């Protein structure tokens, strides 16, 4: 059965009792201390070692009150760059929330989007139902993410720059969002579905980051190379890399095979940090 996530259920109970609004909940949550990773350090979030998410459930999409994202705020007045995180095919879960916390520790305001109206899947059939339902209405996805971007850009502690990033389903959505909206300044794709049409790529107005896996049967190196060729033909700056000897999901789930995944994941993380710094920090 497709279900509501744990945090969503807690938030729904609180709201039903009239105790707190979603915005009040986020405002009262503690901010995450500035604690960036070192050059040889991966965030605990992708190692399977992170603590319970420290941010808060957050409603940002008025068109659909069931949509419940997750907001992680960094300490300090800012202004900070901001990141929208787009979940995998099973919906917004704690691994994504923990990555949002890790980005807040790097000094970014992080909002994990919810594209499934508060639902999550627990098996392949449920996940595919959610994927197909959402992708059948890309207009709603773009409006959802635009609402997230508008909220972030309207915060006093945000510098007006937003990047969107996602994994698998979320990586493909991040690319679609780059093609369908001009409301953000960065796109980071982790093994998401791709296009190879230079004409469509010309609709992108910022540098694109991409991390892919050599042993990904769904997105083989040839597909990635064609994507990069299209970006170059369209004149879009890009930092795209295919990592040897790893498979699909290696970055978000390093703990599934740490001996193989850790070193390429570290390189991809340092590339991501550099990308965010030069695209949305304003200090690159």
| b/e sequence 13-52, b meaning 16+ C-beta within 10 Å | ebbeeeeeebeebbeebeebeeeebeeeebbebbbeebee
Sequence-distant (≥ 6) Cβ neighbours of residue 78 within 8 angstroms: 109, 156, 157, 158, 159
What pLDDT does residue 282 have? 59
Q: How far apart are CA 151 and CA 2, in angstroms?
A: 28
Kindly report, residue by residue over 51-71, the tens digit of the pLDDT: 999 999 999 999 999 999 999
Q: What pLDDT sits at residue 4?
A: 47
Task: For the chain, list residues with pLDDT below 70.
Answer: 1-29, 282-284
Question: What residues make up the domain containing 197?
Answer: 3-281
Count: domains in the chain: 1
Query: Residue 72 sits in a domain of what CATH number?
Result: 3.40.50.1820
pLDDT in tens, 133-155: 999 999 999 999 999 999 999 99
């Amino acid at each position: 059965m497709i279900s509501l996530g744990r945090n969503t259920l807690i938030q729904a109970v609180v709201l039903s009792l009239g105790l707190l609004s979603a915005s009040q909940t986020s405002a009262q949550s503690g901010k995450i201390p500035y604690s960036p990773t070192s050059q040889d350090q991966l965030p605990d979030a992708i190692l399977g070692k992170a603590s319970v998410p420290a941010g808060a459930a957050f409603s940002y999409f008025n068109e659909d009150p069931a949509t419940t994202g997750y907001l992680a705020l960094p300490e300090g007045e800012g202004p900070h760059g901001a990141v929208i995180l787009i979940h995998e095919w099973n919906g917004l879960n704690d691994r994504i929330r923990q990555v949002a916390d890790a980005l807040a520790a790097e000094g970014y305001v992080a909002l994990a989007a919810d594209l499934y109206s508060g639902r999550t899947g627990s098996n392949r059939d449920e996940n595919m139902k959610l994927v197909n339902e959402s992708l059948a209405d890309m207009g709603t996805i773009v409006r959802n993410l635009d609402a997230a971007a508008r909220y972030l850009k309207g915060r006093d502690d945000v510098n007006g720059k937003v990047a969107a990033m996602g994994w698998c389903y979320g990586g493909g959505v991040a690319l679609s969002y780059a093609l369908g909206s001009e409301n953000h300044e960065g796109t980071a794709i982790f093994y998401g579905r791709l296009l190879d049409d230079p004409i469509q790529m010309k609709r992108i107005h910022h540098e694109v980051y991409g991390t892919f896996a050599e042993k990904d049967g769904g997105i083989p190196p040839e597909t990635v190379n064609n994507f990069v060729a299209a970006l170059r033909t369209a004149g879009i700056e890009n930092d795209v890399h295919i990592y040897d000897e790893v498979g699909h999901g290696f970055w978000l789930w390093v703990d599934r095979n740490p001996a193989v995944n850790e070193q390429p994941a570290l390189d991809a993380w340092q590339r991501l940090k550099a990308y965010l710094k030069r695209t949305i920090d304003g200090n690159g």
